[in-house]
Amino acid sequence: MEAVKAEATPAPVAETPKDYNKPSEEIFNLRLAKLDDWKNAGISPFGGEYPDRISSLSVKDGFAAKTISEDAAVRVAGRITAYREMGKSIFIDVRDFYGRIQAYAKKDSLGDEAFALFQKLDIGDIVGVEGSVFLTRTSETTIKIKSFKLLGKSLRTLPEKWHGLSDPEQIYRQRYLDLIANEKSRDVFKKRSLMIREIRRFLEERGFIEVETPMLQYIPGGAAARPFKTFYEALHTNMFMRIAPELYLKRLLVGGYEKIFELNRNFRNEGMSRKHNPEFTMMELYQAYGSCKTMMEIVESLIVHLANAVNGGTVVKFQDGREIDLKSPWRRVEYSALVKEYAGENWYSLSRADKSAFLAGKGVEMSPDSPDEDITHELYEKLIEPTLINPTFVTRLPAHLVPLAKRCEDDPRTVDVYELEINGQEISPGYSELNDPIEQRKRFQEQKNCVENGDGRIDEDFLAALEYGMPPAGGMGLGIDRLTMLLSGSESIRDVILFPSLKPLASCPLNTNRNTLE
């Protein structure tokens, strides 16, 4: 074993990937030729199952803990991400989902024929390797290969290891390459999966039941947004992708469910931005006999729990060096107080013209026919919301903004709701839910949400359900994409969605002629 260690630690050399100095089309053709070489040798270049493998992380941890000895054989599988040939020895890096491990092939160990085949491997190929584990003189855990199997031949070159993938357009269009090349991206999506798992565990421990409601709806409701529309041939009727699950979840409260949540995909046929994607993930939750106050306690406890579970603490760090501490307790402030704090105590007594002039001075232009209440909300959304960096519950919003929430008993112009703002964007809204069917019908008609959302119909079945009686309840939504942005320190929603919406290309972004595969 000592002799192997000595051979396994030659002087450092530049890890230049094989053939990266050749044009991509030439590389493609070279790899097609190697494909034939494998087939001519009677070996499938696209392998089969590779049983009894363990992860690269398990090998490293087990060897460090001495639960895997130098004599024990291990099997790992993954993608070759580095290839270093040194005469009769070849080092490769094999990356799986859990990390990277170095593997070492020697001509004397494999034999001439197998070593010749090993030399035909390329960066990007997916292989299985079996062998014993040792430490190099630089203390790197390494597998000395006794046998190997090609499991998937790569015909295209990967992004250069030392450059990674930096073009945002390519990152979002070819996420598979981003995940291969960029460790940070892999970590973000691992955090997202862990976060969703922890949400389920947290809520189930509190007695909540996960449910599912329709994504195709006759009448989209629960929010003011433009839906995606389709036509259902079997029923010969228009259908809509849901913009929110709220009205169906409240039907379940009528039916006797008391604590429910849904992790759901919503669709809104609107613009895209750093904070918006037309297809997004939400968690909605309802608790019978609860209120807006109940929801604030749940969402604050949940997010603090997630920060500790995902990041190991409540401090979130961003790429620009900023930090946000999510530690409880969080600030609670009324909507009107924030408006006065920003625009002056006399804001609500100003004329419409003076309010518009104030906004214009801040670079915010309003339409001449904008209602007075819209001017105030434009002030809030464009000028105040971006300043709310630390966790802030904004409460008691104007009633016209939230037609599905109860009015405040001491001021019917406002509703008993919160908007949770962190890092200048809304993370979660929550309400004391309106359960008065007469008031709800009036609100629908006044707000004309149904006209904005679909084809002008009010959801009469939902109103009928309320007429059977719905218990008082608290409800909330939690934007999973924006929460992932927050906990991972990401600046764009596209960085936390595996396949974000993009304008389609006229053709495949890759130039290789597909006919060469025929």
pLDDT category at 507 given cuts 50, 70, 90 is low
DSSP codes, 324-385: EE-PSSPEEEEHHHHHHHHH-TTGGGS-HHHHHHHHHHTT----TT--HHHHHHHHIIIIIG
- Report the percentage of the chain scoring pLDDT > 70: 90
Please give the angle made by the CA atoms of 426, 382 and 172, to the nearest 5 degrees: 60
- The answer on 319 and 457 residing in a single domain is yes
Of the three residues 95, 129, 163, the one that is the final residue of a domain is: 163
Whether residues 155 and 219 share a domain: the answer is no
Query: Bigger pLDDT: 87 or 349?
Result: 349
- Around Cβ 354, how many Cβ atoms within 10 Å? 12
Please report whether residue 172 resides in a domain.
Answer: no
Residue 384 maps to a domain: no
114 and 239 share one domain: no
Give yes or no for a contact between 288 and 249, defined as CB atoms under 8 angstroms apart. no
Same domain, 326 and 338: no
> Do both 423 and 287 map to the same domain?
yes
What are the tens digits of pLDDT across the range 91-132?
A: 999 999 999 999 999 999 999 999 999 999 999 999 999 999
456 shares its domain with 366 = no
- Of 35-39, 116-120, 237-241, 511-515, the poorest mean pLDDT is in 511-515
174-191: buried (b, 16+ CB within 10 Å) or exposed (e) per residue?
bbebbbbbbeebbebbeb
Q: Are residues 193 and 98 in the same domain?
A: no
Residue 501 carries which side chain, given as an amino acid letter?
A: S
Quickly state the pLDDT bin for 455 (edges 50, 70, 90): low
Contacts of 68 (CB under 8 A, 6+ apart): 59, 62, 74, 133
> How are beta strands 323-325 and 89-96 bridged, if at all?
unpaired
Q: What is the mean pLDDT of the segment spanning 450-463?
A: 70
Tell me, yes or no, whether 339 and 474 share the same domain: no
Whether 507 is in a domain gets the answer no
- pLDDT category at 367 given cuts 50, 70, 90 is confident
Predicted confidence band of residue 444 (pLDDT cuts 50, 70, 90) = confident
pLDDT of residue 512: 46
> What range defines the domain where residue 350 resides?
334-378
Q: Flag whether 308 is in a domain.
A: yes
Based on the domain organization, do 133 and 272 belong to the same domain? Answer: no
> Do residue 145 and residue 258 come from a single domain?
no
Question: Among candidates 513, 503, 493, 511, which has minimal Cα distance to 188?
Answer: 493
In a domain, 31, yes or no: yes
pLDDT digits (tens, 9 = 90+) for 169-196: 888 999 999 999 899 999 999 999 999 9
Average pLDDT over residues 490-515: 77
**Tokens, residue 242:** 């849901």
User: Is 419 in contact with 397 (CB distance < 8 Å)?
Assistant: yes
Q: Which of 25-34, 205-214, 260-269 has the lowest mean pLDDT?
A: 25-34
- Its sign, for the CA torsion 133, 136, 139, 141, is negative
The token pair at 375 is 């001017």
Contacts of 389 (CB under 8 A, 6+ apart): 322, 324, 422, 423, 424
Provide the CATH number for the domain around residue 79: 2.40.50.140
pLDDT at 453: 44
Phi and psi (nearest 5°) for 337?
A: -65, -40
- Catalogue the long-range contacts made by 292-297 (C-beta closer than 8 Å, 24 or more residues apart): 292/395, 292/405, 292/416, 292/417, 292/418, 292/430, 292/431, 292/432, 292/474, 293/474, 294/474, 295/418, 295/430, 295/431, 295/474, 295/475, 295/476, 296/332, 296/393, 296/418, 296/420, 296/430
More confident residue, 49 or 21: 49
Summarised one tens digit per residue, pLDDT across range 217-227 is 999 988 888 99
Strand partners, 126: 79, 152
pLDDT of residue 1: 29
For residue 312, what is the domain's CATH number?
A: 3.30.930.10
Please state, rounded to an integer, the average pLDDT across all residues of the chain. Answer: 89
How many domains, the chain? Answer: 3
- Among residues of the chain, what percentage have pLDDT more than 90? 77
Closest CA to 147 of 77, 93, 66: 77
Quick check: 47 pLDDT over 80?
A: yes
- Rounded to the nearest 10°, the torsion over CA 334, 336, 339, 345 is -120
User: Is residue 442 domain-shared with residue 373, that is, in the same domain?
Assistant: no
514 within a domain of the structure (yes/no)? no
What is the spatial distance between Cα 458 and Cα 332, in angstroms, rounded to a whole number? 34
pLDDT band at 439 (very low <50, low <70, confident <90, very high): very high
- 370 pLDDT band, cuts 50/70/90, is confident
Q: Is residue 182 part of a domain?
A: no
Compute the residue count for the chain.
Answer: 518
**Residue 427 covered by a domain:** yes
Q: Are residues 250 and 293 in the same domain?
A: yes
